[in-house]
A and B are shown apart, each in its own frame.
Chain A
Amino acid sequence: MGAHDRPEATAKAKGGLAWLERWLPKMVLAPTFIMMLVFIYGYIIWTAVLSMTNSRFLPSYDFVGLLQFEKLFENDRWLVACTNLGIFGGLFILVCLVLGVTLAILLDQKIRQEGAIRTVYLYPMALSFIVTGTAWKWMLNPGLGLEKVVRDLGFESFSFDWIVDPNMAIYTLVIAAVWQSSGFVMAMFLAGLRGIDNSIIQAAQIDGATLPKIYRRIILPSLRPVFFSAFIILSHIAIKSFDLVAAMTGGGPGYSTDLPATFMYAHSFTRSQIGLGAASAMLMLGGVLAILIPYLYSELRGSRNG
């Protein structure tokens, strides 16, 4: 233990430590980085490759170009699924936004027991779509559900059998999905309303503007960012909707309530059409990107300007 060679050793250890300190953050991120590369980007490429092969029960790597996509667009079931997504998504988003903003505005009028009411509006969001779907399937049961309630009230000829009607079943999905998600939209708008500067509203009131006019001209326009965020989240929920359909209609009657997500599952995992399933998954990703990229673009541009 020579006292004189100690400083050198410490310096060396220090150098090693500094090196470690410099690389440690990157080493900590490395697993995440690798997982991200493999499980997000790698898998997307993998799915893209599968979508261009003739994979059926097992993945094969015989390249067939865009054949699966051509098949997809000649497939009646896929076209029904896309049309359904249009109907379901459109109505779901619209009703959620209208209901959400209306309830938020009403709830913002210094309501007694506001906390309790908010809790009631929001609890469905805590439940899974499977639980939600099970409950609604039961309520919409023709013969025993809401139909019977109304008949028991004396309206003997009342009929409400949408859930087994191929033309109407898709609308029952909208009812359940709105029930599940509209409370969340309400919460978003309520937060937005609470963030508005009161002095602007007071100034407008002094100028003699009526309350409805203040809402139409000042408050609603200033909630535009909330509308956008809610739209993004709701469209995202709509495109990914799988559980609700599985629980409520199973895609039926026939395939009248199929959505792209259930189409993808059915073809990939029960009908042994992996190539076709992969192609439909790629188109779903395309749908999400089509909504997301303009949004992110405007967000980023907005934050740069502001």
Chain B
Amino acid sequence: MVNQTAQSSMNWNRINRGLIYAVLLTAALFYLLPLVVMVLTSFKTMDDIRSGNLISWPTEFVFDAWSKAWSTACTGVRCEGVEGYFWNSVQIVVPAVLISTFLGALNGYVFTKWKFRGSELLFGLLLFGCFIPFQVVLLPMAQTLGLLGLANTTAGLVFVHIVYGMAFTTLFFRNFYINIPGELVKAAQLDGAGFFTIFWRILLPISGPIIVVTIIWQTTQIWNDFLFGVVYGSGDTQPITVALNNLVNTSTGVKEYNVHMAAAIIAGLPTLLVYVLAGKYFVRGLTAGSVKG
């Protein structure tokens, strides 16, 4: 009797485990499907695409779509592929990430180790910048960039990304530094270390993990940005997201889906690589950047 119930509960258990794995793997297929489709399509010829279907294997693997996407595909009026736009994005991302991260570190340092009357309020006000829908600043910024002569320049986009990335980077560093004992700073002060000495010699050397998180977060955000890119960049200065969109949604000519997919992978590769290489930090950035104040 007892044995029988034990036996049947074990069977149930096995069925349950089976079901759990089935659901999890089905979900995994759902998440993987678009990537698989993108990769397969990018290696097909157009004839192959028309005769097969999304998940059919390419009859032969060809790299034509990739080289076309990189160097000759038409994005709007220009037909030079996405290469130039890829480097535009790099030129925007690198300075914007470095500067906003550095400013975030300095701000976070002041907000935790050099508090003054009103600094908490100031931090709260700055935090609000993480939440505003950027539509509410788009028009004035367009005017300002025009006045400064930065409209449609890479420098203009770098500037915009620094301005609106700073709330996040400050949040990251502030939340990290707040857990570092104030005694460390006090002791250094007694030894005669000044404001910047403490920052350079004591806080920065232990900031490795949060620097990585911030850089990954900012890189992903800025690389993936479309709104600022489409509003403040034009022609030669557009980032790759805008170029990809122009390529895919152009109304003229035959739609070359294999080229579209290759271009999409090129546009997604850098952030995907960051995720694969530093996934742990990527997730930490996501959760740190979410809501916690």
Which residues of chain A have a CB within 8 Å of any CB of chain B? 17, 21, 24-26, 28-29, 31-33, 35-36, 39-44, 46-47, 50, 59, 99, 102-103, 106-107, 109, 111, 117, 119-132, 134-139, 141, 144-146, 148-149, 152, 179, 183-184, 187-188, 191, 229, 232-233, 236, 239-240, 242-243, 246-247, 250, 260-261, 264-265, 268-269, 274, 277-278, 280-282, 284-285, 287-288, 292, 295, 299
Contact = CB atoms under 8 A, between A and B. Distances in A.
* Interface-centre pick from B125, B231, B268, B271 (highest chain A CB count, 10 A): B268
A247 B231 contact: no
Contact of A59 (B30, B143, B220, B249): B143
Given A25-B116, A119-B279, A130 B245 contact: yes
B31 A123 contact: yes
Interface string B2-45: 00000000000000010011011001101111110110010000
B166 interface: yes
Given A25-B114, A149-B54, A121 B249 contact: no
Q: Helix, strand, loop or mixed for chain A's interface?
A: helix
B31 A29 contact: no
A209 B261 CA distance: 51
Nearest to B242: A130
Nearest to A229: B291
6 contacts: A26-B110, A32-B103, A106-B23, A179-B30, A187-B287, A269-B231
A139 to B, nearest CB: 6
A93 to B, nearest CB: 15
A125 B286 contact: yes
Contacts of A285: 132-133, 135-136
A138 B291 contact: no
B181 interface: no
Contacts of B164: 39
A33 B272 contact: no
Contacts of A295: 291
A82 B12 CA distance: 48
Given A121-B31, A138-B37, A188 B107 contact: no
B169 to A, nearest CB: 10
Contacts of A120: 28, 31-32
A274 B139 CA distance: 8
